[in-house]
Amino acid sequence: MFTTPRIENTPASPKRRGWASRSTRLTAVVAAAAIASLLSACATGTAGAADDGAEFPEAGSTIEWIVPSAAGAGNDILARIMAPAMGEDLGVNIKVVNKEGGNQVIGLNALASAKPDGLTLGFTNIPSIFGRYLDPSKQAGFDRESFAPVGSFALNDIVIGVNKDSPYTSTQELFDAVKASPGTITVGTDSRAGDDHVNLRTLEKELGLEFNIVHYNSGADKIAALVSGEVDFALGGVSSFIGQAKSGEINVLSVLSDVPSPFFPDVTTLNEQGFEVAPMSNNFAVSVPAGTPAAAVAALEAALQAATEDPDVVAALENAGTVPNWMPAADVATLWEEREATTKPIIAELIAGE
């Protein structure tokens, strides 16, 4: 297990939580139910309107975990790690269902429009989801109020990487080239107005840079372009880079975090390299449709937390290039609202400038 200290990106708790004992489980469920009831009320205007008091989940039921990307992609891998552990805890089968397309909008639409009975959940990763519904061109049928958070189980640090044959052996060399020839050094993103795009715009503003930004349809397409030499560099989550970095096809130049990544311990952070930028990371958050009964949300939250704290799951998440890090539903809701408020004007600026 990684021992690198992390600063948890949650308003309620400044440090990563430790392991929770099973004896605290009942208290957690009760507290989660109360919080979920409040979240449900905020999302729908009525607390627990669909809750008829029946036990959740019913024996023999199947829960669908919607993944808005292709089988084998990062989100899919993580869902297939988490789903069996959650299913075992709940005593039901959790089936992973891939609904890819439209820069994840198809899958997210399916999640938002699903029956709010607790039998459908899915990824609503922060901040990547913002580019899906804050960009009018994507014609999303959802927004933040379409969902009720269940929790977040892992973090994905952001890194900058180049092709193995790149002339740039350091971030300093890369950024010097950008400053010497503004608007010509190419960088790939996983979507227009997505988190990569927002993070790159933040770097441009904070460091006085101008990139030639090239948008792709997915993280996999972005990485393929980097490996082939189609773009000069790329920015994104560790989990997207780690496979090609291990194989030697990509060199990671810096980590945009407050501490070095446990996956690349020899790579220093951007701040350590002399570039002062606020840390960037992604939260792998899970939500259900707004209006889902509070008791169902609480049961799912408790199961998600238990899975996050399972040693076998922790090892699998780390092997997939993520840092296991539990954040409860209430904190995810607060984080979502706060980061949407800071990201929204950046996305509006990006759209207006294209």
Q: What percent of the chain has pLDDT over 70?
A: 85
Quote the CA–CA distance of 259 and 159 in Å, as a whole number. 12
- The residues that bridge with 149 in the sheet, in sequence order, are 287
Question: What is the 3-class SS of 118-154, one letter each residue?
Answer: CCEEEECCECCCHHHHCCHHHCCCCCHHHEEEEEEEE
pLDDT score recorded for residue 142: 98
Tokens read off for 88: 């075992």
Taking only the tens place, the pLDDT of each residue in 80-110 is 999 999 999 999 999 999 999 988 999 999 9
- Look at residue 219 in the predicted model and tell me its pLDDT: 87
Secondary-structure breakdown of the chain: helix, strand, coil percentages, each rounded to the nearest 5: 40, 20, 40
Residue 95 and residue 30: Cα distance in Å, rounded?
26
pLDDT value at residue 20? 35
**Cut 0.75: pTM above it:** yes
Burial class for 249, CB neighbours closer than 10 Å (0-12, 13-18, 19+): middle
Domains of the chain: which residue ranges? 22-154+283-352, 157-255
Q: Specify the fold of 157-255.
A: D-Maltodextrin-Binding Protein; domain 2 (3.40.190)
CA distance linking residue 166 with residue 176, whole number of Å: 14
Contacting residues for 328 by C-beta, under 8 A, at least 6 apart:
12, 32, 35, 151, 301, 305
Report residue 201 as tokens: 């715009």
Q: How far apart are CA 269 and CA 253, in angstroms?
A: 9
Residue 313 · residue 85 · CB < 8 Å: yes
Output the pLDDT for position 52: 53
In sequence order, the 6+-apart residues with CB closer than 8 A to the CB of 240 are: 74, 190, 219, 220, 222, 223, 321
Residue 289 to residue 50: CA distance in whole angstroms: 12
The stretches in the chain having pLDDT less than 50 are: 1-51
Instruction: Tell me whether domains 22-154+283-352 and 157-255 share a fold.
Output: yes
Q: Rounded to the nearest 10 degrees, what angle do helices 329-352 and 25-44 cross at?
A: 40
pLDDT tens column, 293-304: 999 999 999 999
Q: Is domain 22-154+283-352 given the CATH code 2.60.15.10 in the classification?
A: no
3-state secondary structure at position 205: helix
> Is the CB of residue 329 less than 8 Å from the CB of residue 42?
no
Q: Which of 349, 336, 352, 350 has the alpha carbon at shortest distance from 42?
A: 336
C-alpha–C-alpha distance, residues 277 and 265, integer Å: 19
Question: What pLDDT is attached to residue 53?
Answer: 58
How is residue 19 annotated by DSSP?
P
